[in-house]
Amino acid sequence: MSRRYFGTDGVRGCVGEAPITPDFCLRLGYAAGKTLVAHERLRVGEHPAVIIGKDTRISGYMLESTLEAGFSAAGVDVYLAGPLPTPAIAYLTRALRLQAGVVISASHNPFQDNGIKFFSARGTKLPDSVELEIEGRLDEPMGCEASASLGKAQRIDDARGRYVEFCKSSFPNELDLRGLKIALDCANGAAYMVAPKVFHELGAELVLVGVEPNGLNINEKVGATSPQSLRTAVLESGADLGIALDGDGDRIVMVDADGEIYDGDKLLYVIAKAASLAGKANGVVGTLMSNLGFEHAVARLGLPFARAKVGDRYVLELMHEKGWSLGGENSGHIICLDCHTTGDGIIAGLQVLAALREHGATLKEMCQDLVFYPQKLVNVPVKPGFDWSSSSSIKTAVDKATQELDGQGRVLLRPSGTEPLLRVMVEGVGEDRVSRIAHGLAEVVRAAVAAS
């Protein structure tokens, strides 16, 4: 059975357009609630319960209300956490022993978009089978429990404080951040109230960026997807380093004192290197987009490496399959299973800082033996349903590009799981050549899209 609504990270789209409409989200809450009820062994009068969190998009108010109504109609109790990072909801779902967590967010997308994603009772993404079951129930007529069986709703007043303490607990007790000046960019998103508390309470002096959300400015020229704002803040303030989170707080990018930007591959390498030196690492999972230089550097640490499909859920699945504790994406999703069940930008940042403190090193020093191959990524807008894999012109262009790289690089085309884009990536020796090949491939894709 194929998916109709769920992508790699829940249901996502432009607000006001299907499926991100009030009526759909009402039915989604009801369908998800009924699925939970069907999976629970309930005593008479007992209700399953979920927690709902959101980022700072203005549409979050509307979607929160409709989801709450849908769950209540299905007989599910609802705990409302307000604006909190996605990984905070994963943690609170486990800590409060709830049946599911729900996050209203479109992560790094602009404010016009929004989405709904779910966590299981264990704080992990829902299995495909459960998402498909929810989709199946969306086709059924929506009902409503009798008044005495409706779900109740209440706010959780201490949700932020619980999560702050959870994040701090992942940092070694014998270390602190005193004497460290950090520029912290919260992307005007879900982490704007909790991330500053975490780093400040561990002793850091902070220069804050992206902590004034107005419902419309999430990810706008700030955050992990726009690290130039962080770079500027670091250089102008004389900070020791900078940390940028994305709109829902599950990815991270860092900047050193010289203004060099460190993506997810580099930060994951710092964590893996420190863990390897401490004898605590057993393997690393990357993705199809992870740089070849990263793979080679991990091998030099004596650690096995495996690639998953792009998407943090697939990274996590492969980590569980391998029994490894470290994995991530170059986009900044980093999963440390010894600390959390899901990717967490704040916790990943703390693991990097702990590595730097333990070894008395800078980011540049920790990454000095990490040499990247030039890599160029071009995003090409495509029409819904565009089948790029059956295009003879694209296939011919890919074959030609692969032949030109002559075994010293890779070509990867993949559709985005969250946007109507085809991502064209070329990696190899020679930055100019890599860029030329990537842009040439992108032009072929654009022509194929126009002709379709």
Q: By the 8 A CB rule, do 87 and 93 touch? A: no
- Looking at the structure, tell me whether residues 18 and 90 fall in a common domain: yes
End-to-end Cα spacing for the chain = 26
Burial of residue 340 (number of CB atoms within 10 Å: 0-12, 13-18, 19+)? buried
- Looking at the structure, tell me whether residues 245 and 278 fall in a common domain: no
- Looking at the structure, tell me whether residues 340 and 414 fall in a common domain: no
pLDDT of residue 328: 98
Per-residue pLDDT band at 385 (split at 50, 70, 90): confident
For residue 290, indicate whether it is catalytic.
no
Which tops the pLDDT comparison, 126 or 301?
301
Q: In this structure, is residue 30 part of a structural domain?
A: yes
Closest Cα partner for 91 from 271, 381, 298, 339? 339
Catalytic residue among 59, 72, 105, 107: 107
Radius of gyration for the chain, computed over Cα atoms and rounded to the nearest angstrom: 22
Q: What six digits make up the tokens of 297?
A: 């550097």
- Looking at the structure, tell me whether residues 302 and 429 fall in a common domain: no
Q: By the 8 A CB rule, do 7 and 417 touch? A: yes
Mean pLDDT of 274-289: 95
Tell me the C-alpha distance between 394 and 101, whole Å: 41
Q: What is the pLDDT of residues 121-134, one digit of tens each?
A: 999 988 888 999 99
Handedness of CA 85, 86, 91, 96 (dihedral sign): positive
Q: In this structure, is residue 288 part of a structural domain?
A: yes
Q: Count CB neighbours of 207 within 10 A.
A: 18
Rounded (10°) CA dihedral 72, 78, 81, 86: -90
- CATH number for the domain that contains residue 428: 3.30.310.50
Tell me the C-alpha distance between 308 and 166, whole Å: 28
- Looking at the structure, tell me whether residues 185 and 230 fall in a common domain: yes
Residue written as token pair 């009902």: 143
- Looking at the structure, tell me whether residues 239 and 280 fall in a common domain: no
Per-residue pLDDT band at 41 (split at 50, 70, 90): low
- CATH number for the domain that contains residue 294: 3.40.120.10
Q: In this structure, is residue 215 part of a structural domain?
A: yes
Q: Is the full-model pTM beyond 0.95?
A: no
Q: By the 8 A CB rule, do 316 and 124 touch? A: yes
Per-residue pLDDT band at 43 (split at 50, 70, 90): low
Q: How many domains, the chain?
A: 4
pLDDT of residue 1: 52
Closest Cα partner for 88 from 158, 142, 25? 158
Q: In this structure, is residue 164 part of a structural domain?
A: no
Q: In this structure, is residue 168 part of a structural domain?
A: no
Domain termination residue (choose one: 372, 401, 432)? 372
Half-sphere exposure of residue 89: CA atoms within 13 angstroms, side-chain side: 33
Handedness of CA 147, 148, 153, 157 (dihedral sign): positive
Q: By the 8 A CB rule, do 250 and 333 touch? A: yes
- Looking at the structure, tell me whether residues 249 and 287 fall in a common domain: no
- The mean pLDDT value of the chain amounts to 95
Q: What six digits make up the tokens of 22?
A: 């009030």
Cα–Cα–Cα angle for 22, 25, 30, nearest 5°? 130
- Looking at the structure, tell me whether residues 334 and 229 fall in a common domain: no
Q: What six digits make up the tokens of 325?
A: 């504790």
**Residue 66 domain boundaries:** 11-157
pLDDT at 98 over 60: yes
Closest Cα partner for 252 from 330, 171, 337, 368? 330
- Looking at the structure, tell me whether residues 28 and 147 fall in a common domain: yes
Q: In this structure, is residue 428 part of a structural domain?
A: yes
- Looking at the structure, tell me whether residues 130 and 17 fall in a common domain: yes
Mean pLDDT of 23-34: 97
Tell me the C-alpha distance between 344 and 235, whole Å: 26
Q: In this structure, is residue 170 part of a structural domain?
A: no
Which tops the pLDDT comparison, 138 or 40?
138
pLDDT of residue 384: 84
Q: In this structure, is residue 166 part of a structural domain?
A: no
- Looking at the structure, tell me whether residues 137 and 22 fall in a common domain: yes
245, amino acid identity = L
Q: What is the pLDDT of residues 218-258, one digit of tens each?
A: 999 999 999 999 999 999 999 999 999 999 999 999 999 99
Domain termination residue (choose one: 313, 344, 372)? 372
- Looking at the structure, tell me whether residues 437 and 389 fall in a common domain: yes
Domain termination residue (choose one: 101, 124, 157)? 157
Q: What six digits make up the tokens of 329?
A: 């994406």
pLDDT at 276 over 60: yes
